[in-house]
Structures are given as structure tokens and as C-alpha cells.
Amino acid sequence: MSLSEIMLIMVLVPGVAGFITLGLSKVRATSGAIASIACLIALIMSGALLYKLNVENIVQQVILCLSVIGMKWELEVTRLNALTTFFIALIGFLIALYSTRYITRYDGKGYYFTLILWSLSASIIAMMSMNWISFLVFWEVCTLALFFLVRAGGSEAKAPAYRALLLLASCDLLMTVGVALAVVKTQSLEISRLAGLDPLSVGLIFTLMILSALAKAGGVPVHTWIPDIASNSPATTLALYPAAYDKLLGIFKLSVICHYIIAFTPSISTVVTIIGMMTMLLAVLMAMVQHDIKKLLSFHAISQVGYMITGIGIGTSLAIAGGLFHMVNNVLFKSCLFLTAGAVFYVTGAKEVERLGGLAKKMPITFACALIAALAISGVPPLNGFASKWMIYQAAFEATEISPVNAVAGIIAVLTSALTLASFIKYLHSVFLGPLPRGYENVEEVPLSMRVPMIVLAALCIVFGLLPQVPLTYMIIPALSNIHVTYGLPTSLPLEWVYLAPSAWATWSPIVVTLIALLALALGWIIYVTGKRVQPFVYRIEAVKPFVSGEDLIIYYHGGHFYGPVKLSLKRFYSIADKGGFSIAWRSIANIFKPVLKSPRNGVFFIYALWIIMIILVAIIGGGT
């Protein structure tokens, strides 16, 4: 099967299935089955595409060229977009399967599966586009699909959905202005023609375009839409977009902008790295004090994108590979975490950590998946999160000679991992450990169709952590061939069967470390059992109990209370956040349109009217090329 045939099946099957599920919107089970099968076909095709490019070493090529309204719309398969396409299809399939039962919590929204399918097709086309018009159109289709997926959360999700759309559409409008400037300069609609422009034009175009990439990915300062939509959106929406599609689309675009279509200068490197550092640290501090589960996870989704931005900003081959690897790993553990939160909400209806506890015995599979994903996102070895973070740490300290900012980035990355682990201790304890609240005695594990996606994602977190050389060799490193590595480190990273990117100063061997950890645990268990037999533990009861007004003295600290002192010690920081001080982007956009617009809905209509005008101007300026 040729690359063209694979691509057509991969794009058309979900697109056509979307229309079918739209007609069957009232038959939820059938719609879910059709969506799952269509996404599975797309996953198989994307896997075949990845195999042909990275194993059979077929040369990348333009595989489709259409003439639409007098313009050439070309799609190109590269090793970089094949990587992101595979994980887009994987998450699309798992979310479609999970949603067949989960979405009933939201009145069984029939169009939900249509949006999942169209999102998959639009994301693939956007990443394979060589033409600015097709890229902009399908990029915006993804933004609109996110809006309607958030709206599936009900009436309470309406206002956050419009605010998110207003912010994203505004950034996309700025990107379109940047595209128009690029087309004026190059007199062409081909994306690759942007390389070689004068520094002033490159700087302006870069600034306009990077805002849209950061908004999609969730980077500071255009990150606030993610926690805004989190509380009232379906968990599947959060697992599909802020955790997966937006990261894949945003980081893909950021890497292409920084290392393909413009000249990556030291000043741009420093700016991108600083944005990555700020994103990591600010978001994890906000996550530590959250009480709403999905809001807590949404801040972590923002924090993790900081690692990816930092890797791309540092600009060495090891750093870029680490950023791309973390992008892939984030899709796995972050989607898994949102799905476990969705499972908890499905059986309890609760979103706040104070209302939960003790669910580990009732939902052992969900707990195991949440534990694995939480440890992975925290960078605990030997899971996949540590593998990619290790590469970023190493790259940051090795690149100190390029810029001292990189050393600071490495330190902040390590600190952020520690704070992430602290935050997830709170999450796991609050939801799954401790006493079981009243009313949850009859809680049971979620249905099989919801368990399978969580298990698959948790298993991949383990596999990619124990054998990181497999995804690096067959997915990540080949993708570097489509990126211009600015600094002089080699593009082929040193990998051995048991080692991950060894260097002169540090080496990581996941297999060896795992064996040592297992031996240590076994030794501890032996000592515990032996000691228990020699001298059995005896509970001692005091003869006199303390008098506490006739009530039993039972002190229990819930996970929600763990980091109260942190909020007190950083009182000024959290005071600014509570007042909306970090919602700079949203507040700026709202203030701009406030004099003439009375609601976010009107603002969205106004922005899209401008966007359509800009698209027409870009097409006219490009001259149909």
C-alpha cells in the first residue's frame, strides 16, 4: 500500500464516519462503536505510515496535491508529522472507546463522537499541510471542535467555552496576520518558503505565530483557558484536547517554527527557554493548592508543556529529542490521569478532593492506573516521564556553555518534578486512600470499555520507561531529520540496549535500576516478615483515654489540607493568582473588545469575521500558488 493510499484512508475514514455518527446521534451505542472502529482503522494506518518511514526508510514525499478554488493544497508526509499523527490516532481511538459509556454522564451527547472523528481528520491534515490556507482552515476546525466538546459539559460549561474560544481564536487571528506578512514577503502560499527572510520580518512573524502555538499547547501567558474550562468539561474532552491534541499540535508547530521555517537565533532560544521555565514553575505551584480534581490535573497539563517548550528552546539535538519524547509521554500519562478522574466522577459524581477517599479498594484498576500515571508525570523512575525528563535535564546542563539560562532551566525542571510529586501525593491520598466516605459503600469499578483505555495508557507508561530506546530509535530520533538542529551536537543520539543517552557525566540504565529497586523491595519485605515472626507487634492500649467532651478523639488530615502551609508561605503569589493576575492574555483581549462588544459570543463572531477576511486576503496575495 502506498503512502498516498494510507494517508487517504487515515483521513477519509474518520471524516466519513463523522457524518454517519451525526446521523445516528440518538443511537449512542451504535455511534460509539462506529467511532471506535473508524479511529482504530486510522490508528492502524498511522502505524503503517510510521513503519514505512522509520523502518523501511521510505523517503518523505508530497503524497497528495489538490486544486481547490484555483490553489494547490499539498499534503506531505514527514517523519515528524508521522510521529504526531500516530499518537493523535491512538488517543482518538482510546477516547472514542472510553466515551461510549462515560458520555452518558452528560445526557448522552450524540454529536460527541462526530466531533472526535472530525478532530482526528482535521488534526492530521493541519500537520501534513504544505499550504498556508489548508493549514489555517484545519487548524481552526480543531479549535472549533474543542469549543463544542467543552460545551458538551452542559450549561455551566457555556461561558468557559466561549472564553476559551475567544482567547484561542484571537491568537489564531494574530497567527493569520503573521501568515499574511509571510505571504507578502515570499509571494507564495508554501510554508517552506518562509526560510531566508530578513531578521526583522522573521522576528515579527515568529512573535505572531508563536502566540498561537503557545495558546494551543498551553504555555504562559496564554494558558488560562485550560483551567477555566476544566471544572465543567467532560474528562474525555480534557484527555483528548488539553492533554493530547493541543500538545501535539502546539508543540509540533512550535518545533517547526523554531527549527525549520525560521533562523533559530540565540535570542529566540533564550526567549523560548524562559517561557518554558515560567510555564513549568508557575503552573505546578497553582496545581498544589487546587481542590477540584480536573482543575488540579489541568494545571499539571500546563506545567508539563513547559518541559517540551524548554527542550525546543535549548535547541540541541538531545534537548529537542527530549522535548519531543516528553510530548509523546505527556499524551500517555496525562490522558490516563484525566480518564481516571473521569472514572471517579462516573461512579461518584464528585469533583472535589474533600468529598472523596478510600476508593482504592473499590476501584483497584483505576487506582493502579492513576498511581502509575501520577508517578510517571512526577518523573519517578523507571517510568516514561523520568526518561524524557532525564534527557531534558542532561541537555540543559550540557548546554550551559551556549547560555547560562539553560542551567537555570535544568534546575527549575528538577524542582518542578519534585513539586509535581508532592501535588500527586495529595491527589492519590485524597481520592484513593484514607477512609471511605459515607454513601460510597456500593461503588464498583467502571465498565470494561472505560478500563481498557486506562490500562493501555498505563502499560505504555511502563514500557516507554523501561525500554525508552524503542520509541527513541523508531519514533523520536527519525523525527529529528525534519528539524534543523541549530547547535553543534550530533543529531544521532548514543543509545544502547540498557542505556539512555549516556554522557561523560551521567548515565541512566532503566533495566538495571529497576532490578536494583525490585531487589531492594524484596529485601525490605524479607526483613519485615522475619522481624514480625521473631517479635510480633502488639498494640498497646492506654488505661485512661483523654477526656474530649465525651467524644472519641479521631484526627484525620485529608489530602486537601496537605499544602496549606505552602499557600501561606507564598501568600502574595496566590493572592495575585486569586485576583486573576495571571490571566493576562484573557483580560487583555476582553479589555480590547469591551467598548464595542457585550459578550464573549459577539467577540467570537467579530474575530472570525476578521479571520475570514484575512484568509481571503492571504489567498489573493498568494496568487493561487
* The pLDDT of residue 601: 67
CA 344 to chain centre: 21
- The one-letter code for the residue type at 404 is P
Chain segment 129-138, per-residue pLDDT in tens: 888 888 888 9
Residue in the structure block whose three cell numbers are 530509535: 473
Residue 302 sits at φ, ψ, to 5 deg, of -70, -45
What are the grid coordinates assigned to 415, written together? Answer: 524542582
Please write the tens of the pLDDT for every residue from 528-577: 888 777 665 565 555 555 556 655 555 555 665 666 666 667 767 666 66
Residue type, 494: P
Start-end of H helices in 445-570: 448-466, 469-471, 477-479, 510-534, 564-569
Q: What is the pLDDT of residue 550?
A: 59
Predicted local distance difference test score (pLDDT) of residue 192? 66
Q: Smallest Cα–Cα separation from 284: which of 342, 223, 232?
A: 223
Q: Give the global pTM.
A: 0.88
The segments of the chain whose pLDDT lies below 70 read 25-27, 59-72, 107-110, 192-199, 261-263, 484-508, 534-568, 571, 573-601, 603, 623-625
Enclosing H/E stretch for 43: helix 28-54
What distance separates the 2 farthest-apart alpha carbons in the chain?
92
- Answer whether 475's CB lies under 8 Å from 80's CB: no
Could you give the CA distance from residue 371 to residue 279 in angstroms, rounded to a whole number?
24
Beta carbons of 244 and 335 less than 8 angstroms apart: yes
Provide the CA 339 distance to its chain's centre, in angstroms. 13
Model pLDDT, residue 523: 93
Query: Could you tell me the CA-to-CA distances from 381 to 330, 497, 514, 575 in Å, in that order?
Result: 15, 17, 8, 35
Query: Which residues on neighbouring strands pair with residue 495, listed in sequence order?
Result: 500
